[in-house]
């Protein structure tokens, strides 16, 4: 399995500006949202398809349609100039056809391999033309049925000669209660001109620093409406609007190491967009840190005490625990199945509990990107207790059941065009052993002295990370800090260092946590795995660990540019002076 892609940090939201105004479709007189007129066409084709395909050999036992209407605007600038400004809208149709039965169908893995399917879907017309949509559904349903029928025949043949694991004997698809919900159709109107000027201004500010080689600022607005219909009776219409402002700068140390700094704002309410004051404050911090990092020394590989601030700790739990608690990883014979047999066992210190609650819109005043109403298999979002006072209780489940876990808990997720699998949403770390962050720092110094180390590490910000979960690979993780300080036992000032990657193995790393802070912080980002990139959140207080291993970061041999940036060159036109 390839490593999971990084997720990127977001920052506290400050201020307000009314630059983006969402528009909702007009409600009927009784105030209830209207269902899309396309549902009738979808239902007609659904009934027609099931009647015929349900009588084929092999028979289709489940058909589902998902129509996703996406509106997206993007404005991007670099180094004081506009790079791009555009807006687009599209519709994507996905058809799921399952042949066989809930117990054994065309998705069943044989020897750890997933059978091929009919592809990621197809473009659908933007016009609300029922007949044109029915034609697109008809063709896509036929393609998906043929692929599912062929896959099931091969599976039945292969299953007869393959040894089945205990996990593999679980049903292939879970029976779930049909969901019915009609929410308002969401959209936005956007004047891109103000944002075009903002990205110029923000990136021009970064140009003032000689340490910044390149800067990119991107504003994105996205409205997504989803219509889901299946033969079990689910009938859903819901939508969501998200906004993001990404600040990204690049620098290079004298030895060639590339250094990135990232700062993101995420919000869902237009009135909570960041003010210029908040953005420039974040930009100033980024610039200051970049100027310090390009001149800072390299850190040597070490093992010792470390303190991770809240957002850094949140990424730590996302990578070290979260991916290994995704249900489908317990079922796949090719996975490491780290926690598959540990339900009811202690895997964390007893003062720690973890929940994944995708019904949470906010934590404090911070929007959570992992919030949603229904997952991509039509199951309602739920709060799931994964670890209770150190004891593993549950997994994030899609509609792929496990022995002892026969139902989904609303975590079947995917990027458009991918097949849903169990994924994280809002991973929340809770602690019953908290101290103030100042006390946590004091405890770090105590641990450094007890272990006879010259210093401990303070990890203040993280870009993201990845983890290997496949059985044929080391069961290891790597987390990529951006800002790291040495904290000395003798009272010397903290020293900024670079070139640090956190590494380790999950079962060992999780048991080394000795205390936490008392203030949770949120890390918003996008996580990549088998089912594509999905929005997620992780929240945690700062954590103190008695032992954390760090290695040297991968580096480049390219030196910084020979000349300084043009605006900072002392040479005038006509030659050096």
* Whole-number pLDDT of residue 6: 41
What secondary structure letter does DSSP report for 110? B
**Do 11 and 160 form a contact (C-beta atoms < 8 A)?**
no
Question: What pLDDT, in 10s, does the model give residues 47-105?
Answer: 999 999 999 999 999 999 999 999 999 999 999 999 999 999 999 999 999 999 999 99
Do 287 and 209 meet the contact criterion of CB atoms below 8 Å apart?
yes
The arithmetic mean of pLDDT across residues 175-181, rounded, is 97
Does pLDDT of 11 surpass 50? no
The CATH number of 20-295 is 3.30.2290.10
Return the domain boundaries, the chain.
Answer: 20-295, 302-552
Mean pLDDT of 300-304: 93
Q: Residues 166-170: what's their mean pLDDT?
A: 70
CA distance 227 to 238: 7
Q: How many residues does the chain have?
A: 577
Q: What number is the average pLDDT over the span 357-368?
A: 96
Return the closest-CA partner of residue 206 out of 294, 295, 296, 280: 280
Render 469-518 in DSSP notation, one character per residue.
-BTTS---EEEEEEEEEEEETT-PPPEEEB-EEEEE-HHHHGGGEEEE-S
Task: Tell whether pTM > 0.85.
Answer: yes
- Percentage of the residues of the chain whose pLDDT score is greater than 70: 89
Q: What is the pLDDT of residues 195-223, one digit of tens each?
A: 999 999 999 999 999 999 999 999 999 99
Q: What is the predicted pLDDT for the residue at 10? A: 36
Contact between 230 and 63 (Cβ < 8 Å): yes
pLDDT for residue 3: 38
Residue 297 has pLDDT above 80, yes or no: yes
Return the biggest CA–CA distance within the chain. 87
Beta-carbon contacts of 189 under 8 Å, excluding residues fewer than 6 positions away, are 20, 21, 22, 23
pLDDT > 50? residue 557: yes
Question: What average pLDDT does the structure give for the chain?
Answer: 89
The pairing of strands 180-182 and 455-467 is unpaired
Q: Which DSSP letter does residue 155 get?
A: H
- Residue 123: partners with Cβ closer than 8 Å, 6 or more residues away: 90, 91, 92, 93
pLDDT of residue 164: 54
The band of 298, judged by pLDDT with boundaries at 50, 70 and 90, is very high
Q: Which of 8-22, 106-120, 267-281, 293-307 has the lowest mean pLDDT?
A: 8-22
Higher pLDDT, 367 or 558: 367
Q: Is the pLDDT of residue 5 over 90?
A: no
Predicted confidence at residue 337, as pLDDT, reads: 80
pLDDT the model gives residue 110: 78
- DSSP assignment of 3-57: PPBP-------------EEEEEPPPPTTSPPPPPTHHHHHHHHHHHHHHHHTTSS
Q: What pLDDT sits at residue 471?
A: 65
Q: Report the share of the chain in percent with pLDDT over 90.
A: 76
Give tens-digit pLDDT for 440-480: 999 999 999 999 999 999 999 887 777 767 666 666 788 88
pLDDT at 434 over 90: yes
Q: How confident is the model at residue 113 (pLDDT cuts 50, 70, 90)?
A: confident
- When pLDDT is cut at 50, 70 and 90, the band that residue 372 belongs to is very high
163/143 Cα distance (integer angstroms): 31
Alpha-carbon distance 351 to 183, whole Å? 40
Tens of pLDDT, residue by residue over 235-256, are 999 999 999 999 999 999 999 9
Packing angle of the helix pair 276-295, 192-206 (nearest 10 deg): 30
- Yes or no: say if 374 and 380 are a contact pair by the CB < 8 Å rule: yes
Annotate 338-382 with DSSP letters as a single string. TTTT-TTSB-S-TTEEEEEETT--EETTEE-TT--SB-TTSPBP-
pLDDT at 573 exceeding the cut of 60: no
Cβ neighbours of 392 (radius 10 Å): 20
Question: Could you tell me the pLDDT band of residue 158, with boundaries at 50, 70 and 90?
Answer: confident
């Amino acid at each position: 399995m390839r490593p999971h892609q990084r997720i990127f940090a977001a920052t506290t939201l400050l201020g307000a500006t009314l630059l983006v105004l969402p528009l909702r479709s007009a409600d009927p007189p009784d105030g209830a949202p209207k269902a899309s007129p396309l549902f009738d066409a979808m239902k007609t084709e659904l009934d027609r398809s099931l009647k015929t395909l349900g009588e084929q050999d092999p028979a289709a036992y489940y058909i589902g349609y998902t129509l996703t209407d996406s509106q997206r605007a993007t404005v991007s600038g670099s180094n004081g100039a506009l790079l791009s400004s555009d807006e687009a809208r599209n519709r994507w149709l996905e058809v799921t056809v399952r042949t066989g039965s809930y117990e054994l169908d065309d998705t069943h893995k044989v020897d750890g391999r997933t059978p091929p399917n009919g592809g990621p879907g197809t473009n659908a017309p933007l016009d609300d033309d029922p007949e044109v949509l029915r034609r697109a559904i008809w063709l896509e349903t036929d393609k998906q049925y043929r692929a599912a029928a062929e896959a099931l025949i091969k599976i039945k043949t292969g299953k007869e000669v393959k040894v089945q694991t205990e996990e593999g004997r679980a049903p292939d698809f879970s029976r779930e209660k049909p969901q019915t919900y009609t929410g308002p159709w969401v959209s936005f109107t956007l004047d891109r001109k103000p944002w075009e000027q903002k990205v110029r201004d923000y990136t021009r500010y970064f140009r003032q620093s000689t340490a910044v080689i390149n800067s990119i600022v991107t504003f994105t607005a996205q409205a997504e409406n989803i219509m889901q219909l299946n033969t079990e009776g689910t009938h859903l219409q819901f939508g969501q609007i998200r906004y993001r402002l990404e600040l990204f700068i690049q620098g290079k140390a004298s030895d060639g190491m590339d250094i990135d700094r990232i700062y993101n704002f995420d919000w869902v309410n237009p009135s909570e967009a960041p003010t210029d004051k908040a953005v420039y404050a974040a930009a100033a911090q980024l610039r200051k840190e970049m100027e310090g990092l390009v001149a800072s020394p390299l850190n040597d590989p070490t093992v010792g005490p470390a303190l991770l601030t809240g957002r850094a700790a949140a990424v730590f739990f996302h990578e070290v625990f979260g991916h290994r608690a995704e249900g489908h990883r317990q079922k796949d014979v090719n996975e490491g199945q780290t926690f598959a047999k540990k339900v009811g066992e202690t895997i964390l210190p007893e003062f720690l509990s973890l929940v994944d609650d995708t019904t949470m819109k906010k934590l404090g005043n911070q929007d959570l990107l992992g919030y949603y109403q229904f997952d991509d298999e039509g199951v309602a979002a739920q709060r799931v207790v994964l670890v209770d006072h150190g004891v593993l209780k549950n997994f994030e489940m899609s509609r792929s059941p496990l022995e002892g876990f026969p139902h989904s808990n609303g975590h079947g997720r995917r990027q458009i065009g991918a097949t849903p699998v169990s994924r994280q949403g809002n991973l929340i770390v809770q602690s019953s052993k908290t101290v103030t962050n100042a006390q946590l720092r004091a405890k770090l110094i105590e641990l450094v002295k007890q272990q006879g180390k010259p210093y401990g590490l303070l990890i203040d910000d993280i870009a993201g990370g990845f983890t290997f979960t496949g059985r044929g690979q080391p069961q290891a993780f790597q987390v990529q800090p951006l800002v790291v300080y040495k904290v000395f036992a003798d009272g010397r000032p903290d020293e900024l260092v670079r070139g640090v990657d956190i590494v380790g193995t999950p079962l060992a790393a999780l048991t080394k946590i000795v205390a936490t802070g008392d203030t949770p912080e949120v890390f918003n980002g996008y996580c990549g795995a088998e089912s594509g990139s999905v929005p997620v959140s992780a929240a945690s207080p700062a954590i103190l660990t008695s032992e954390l291993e760090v290695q040297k970061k991968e580096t480049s041999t390219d030196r910084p540019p020979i000349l300084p940036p043009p605006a900072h060159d002392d040479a005038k036109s006509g030659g050096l002076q």
